[in-house]
Amino acid sequence: MSLLLTSAPASASCPVPSSADLAVVKGIDKRPALPSGQEVIVDGVVTGEFLGRERLNGFYLQQETEHGPVGLFVYLPQPSSNQAGLIVPGAHLQLHARTGEYRGQTQLQRVERIETCVGDRLPEPLPVAWPLSNAQLSRKEGLLLTFPQPLTVTGNYELGRYGTLRLAANRLFRPTNTPDEPQPRDILELDDGSYRASPSPIPYVDENGSRRVGSTVQGLTGILTHAFDAYRLHPTLEPRFVAANPRPAPLPEPGDHLRVATFNVENYFVTLGQRGAESAAALERQRAKLAAAVAGLQADILALVEVENDPRALADLVEQLSERTGVRYRAVGGSVDRGSDAIKLALLYRPDRVEAVSELHADPHPAHHRPPLAAFFRRAEGGSTFGVVTAHFKSKTGCPPRGDIDRGQGCWNQRRVEQAQALNAF
């Protein structure tokens, strides 16, 4: 039997009286949510359908209550074909289900029966302006929202891995990049109606197969939720992107000038499943991307960062770049100490354009966990000798609990200052 818990008149358009509204189930207005396992009869309008294992395994229900609109996720992993046919946006449904919780969020689950009510009508998305306070975000979880303002893509790191983009009112930079310009740090994750890893195809990409930071999204509409320590929006309408930060024009030909470029190869590992590629397919994709970038740079000397600290990795990278770009590169040799870190530095050059007139020199100062490397070159046709040094200082992230913590310059600043002083002496 269902316990009668309703705090507002039940909808007369449904087959039977509902035992509770969604505000009671969720615990709105300082009231606790119903305990898990409570049998309830509830009704509401479907605002978002995300059925299937490749998506969220459920749908969102929204109801107008005396506390305002309330939205709730319904976990329905194996709907019958009849049930799936009823779950369409705008449908007014009544559920016989039980209360539950997943990752700290109240939900409905163990759905025993779904019936239709009279008066299907999708509620208008609630217009909101970003950023929102934590209290506003908490109150709007589960609701169908729309953002009239353009939001800016400020991070795309997890797009390929989890199908998410980071959005903000404006593009955000590290506080140390803009020390005199305080900026809010509020982030909204644009999710893809799924929590799966390595989505295929990758969502939200443009005709170039990417989504550039600085792009904007207009009229974003979807359902707000909180998962994996972040507020997320699962869109119910396809987001409309504008390339507000177009790629710069290709570099001009170097001509008679020599071109030197620093290039972070983002953990180029031939040992799969370590810090770099997890599979042979991922390594192939990484190689293709690196080769395309090198071909566009047309650099005579490449100062590399984040190569696996294994001689096989550098040899493989040199071979792959030479084969894929049609330009032969060579690594500067030498038996210097490259440090014990998982990644190392390297110097590559084009022997048809420049000549290496020394082996590598490494800075042995103990401040470096990735020793800076130096080498000397001159033009292939002769001329003055010049030196190139590549360095990779300690990053501003991964802060320790005490000691060299963030004092406004990012953490590990004392270490970086020591490294800079050592490099200067070197």
Which of 120-124, 166-170, 213-217 is least confident? 120-124
Q: Is the pLDDT of residue 158 over 90?
A: yes
CATH fold of 22-116 reads OB fold (Dihydrolipoamide Acetyltransferase, E2P) (2.40.50)
Q: Where in the chain is the domain with CATH 3.60.10.10?
A: 260-392
pLDDT at residue 12, as a whole number: 64
Please indicate, yes or no, whether the overall pTM of this predicted structure exceeds 0.85.
Answer: no
- What is the arithmetic mean of pLDDT over 131-148? 94
- Please check the confidence at residue 4 and state whether its pLDDT lies above 90: no
In 287-407 the beta strands, taken as DSSP E runs, fall at: 301-308, 330-331, 343-349, 354-356, 361-362, 373-379, 386-390
**Mean pLDDT score across all residues of the chain:** 92
As a whole number of angstroms, the distance between CA 151 and CA 173 comes to: 15
Q: Which residues pair with 356 in a beta bridge?
A: 377
pLDDT of residue 7: 42
Beta-strand ranges (E) seen in 13-57 are: 39-50
Q: Give pLDDT, residue 119.
A: 82
Residues β-bridged to residue 374 = 361, 389
% of the chain surpassing 90 pLDDT: 82
Give the per-residue pLDDT at 90.
95
Conformational region of residue 66, where left means phi above 0, alpha means psi within -120 to 50, and beta covers everything else: alpha
pLDDT tens, 36-84? Answer: 999 999 999 999 999 999 999 999 999 999 899 999 999 999 999 999 9
CA distance 343 to 289: 19
250 pLDDT band (50/70/90 cuts)? confident
Looking at residue 199, its pLDDT comes to: 92
pLDDT for 39 equals: 95
pLDDT in the model for residue 209? 87
d(CA 71, CA 13): 19
CATH topology of domain 260-392: Deoxyribonuclease I; Chain A (3.60.10)
In the structure, what pLDDT confidence band is assigned to residue 30 with cuts at 50, 70 and 90? Answer: confident
Residue 410 C-alpha from the chain's centroid? 21
Where do you find CATH 2.40.50.200 in the chain? 22-116
Query: Which of 93-102, 139-148, 333-342, 412-421 has the least mean pLDDT?
Result: 333-342
pLDDT score for 182: 67
Calculate mean pLDDT across residues 365-390. 96
Checking if the pLDDT of 236 tops 70, the result is yes
Residue 5 banded pLDDT, cuts 50, 70, 90:
very low
Q: Predicted confidence band at 14 (pLDDT cuts at 50, 70, 90)?
A: very high
Fold adopted by 126-242: OB fold (Dihydrolipoamide Acetyltransferase, E2P) (2.40.50)
Q: What average pLDDT does range 178-203 have in this prediction?
A: 86
How many other CB atoms are found less than 10 A from the CB of residue 77?
12
Q: At what angle do helices 280-297 and 311-325 cross, to 10 degrees?
A: 60
Residue with tokens 């950023």, as numbered in its chain: 131
295-310: string of b/e by CB count within 10 Å (b at 16+)? Answer: eebbbbbbbbbbbbbb
What is the CA 137 to chain-centroid distance, rounded? 20
Please check the confidence at residue 288 and state whether its pLDDT lies above 70.
Answer: yes
Looking at 230-379, which runs of residues are DSSP E strands?
230-235, 240-242, 260-268, 301-308, 330-331, 343-349, 354-356, 361-362, 373-379
pLDDT of residue 1: 36
Q: What is the model's pLDDT at position 123?
A: 93
Q: Is the pLDDT of residue 87 over 90?
A: yes
Query: Considering only 66-70, 317-321, 347-351, which range has the smallest mean pLDDT?
Result: 66-70
